[in-house]
Amino acid sequence: MRFERHHSALVVASIVTVASFVGATAYTQNRLARLDEVSSTIETDAVPSIDYLSRVAVRLTKLNQSLDGVAAGGPQAVSAREAARIELDGLEADVAAYLGLPPLPGEEAHWAALRADAEHAVQATRQVIEATGVPSPQTFDAVGDALDAALRSVAATLAFDIRQSKAMARDLRAVRAETLGMVVKLDGGSSLVALTRPSSRIARRGGTTRSCRSATRC
């Protein structure tokens, strides 16, 4: 009977050890999937969004500078118009690429204003640089206002994306820390159960020896 009880205890200990290992593995796989999801969003969406928006902001600033060259007239106006055309093409390409990315949570609320302001800025700037004569100062002021409005929309969207990226980075660190802590606990539990098995065998052998000695004395 005593041997059967020890045998049952060893079986239970083995089952608990295996169950702890399986649980730790399943939990780790589940949390790794969450880590992969957040990491993928940061890599394929958040980072490209910030990159495209930053490039758009730079292009809008360069367009403002090119307009100053066009307004000044003279020989520099020709090179300023050509530089503006290059920036406009790049601006349209970058905005289209940005809007083609999957939206971050809440990001779509910024898209309508950004798209409208960017399109208006592009159209107004093209009219100026393709004009045959010298546009009026009022026209340059209107184009400058359009570029400034587009830049504000881009800055607002960029600030939102940066906040979202920081939040995802914090989530990534929290999930990693939580996963590591839980795995350590599960591994520790399974190790503790495993360590009790030799103790049970030692206790059983010790009990048998004492019984034999008692029998000898008897």
- pTM of the predicted model as reported, rounded to 2 decimal places: 0.68
Mean pLDDT of the chain: 78
Domain-wise residue ranges, the chain: 2-217
pLDDT digits (tens, 9 = 90+) for 127-185: 999 988 778 999 999 999 999 999 999 999 999 999 998 888 887 777 677 776 666 66
Kindly report which listed range (40-49, 53-62, 119-128, 186-195) carries the lowest average pLDDT score: 186-195
pLDDT digits (tens, 9 = 90+) for 185-203: 666 665 665 565 544 444 4
24-42 average pLDDT score: 64
How sure is the predictor about 109, in pLDDT bands with cuts at 50, 70 and 90?
very high
Reduced 3-state DSSP string for the chain: CHHHHHHHHHHHHHHHHHHHHHHHHHHHHHHHHHHHHHHHHHHHHHHHHHHHHHHHHHHHHHHHHHHHHHHHCCHHHHHHHHHHHHHHHHHHHHHHHHHCCCCCCCCHHHHHHHHHHHHHHHHHHHHHHCCCCCCCHHHHHHHHHHHHHHHHHHHHHHHHHHHHHHHHHHHHHHHHHHHHHHHHHHHHHHHHHHHHHHHHHHHHHHHHHHHHHHHHHC
CATH number for the segment(s) 2-217: 1.20.120.30
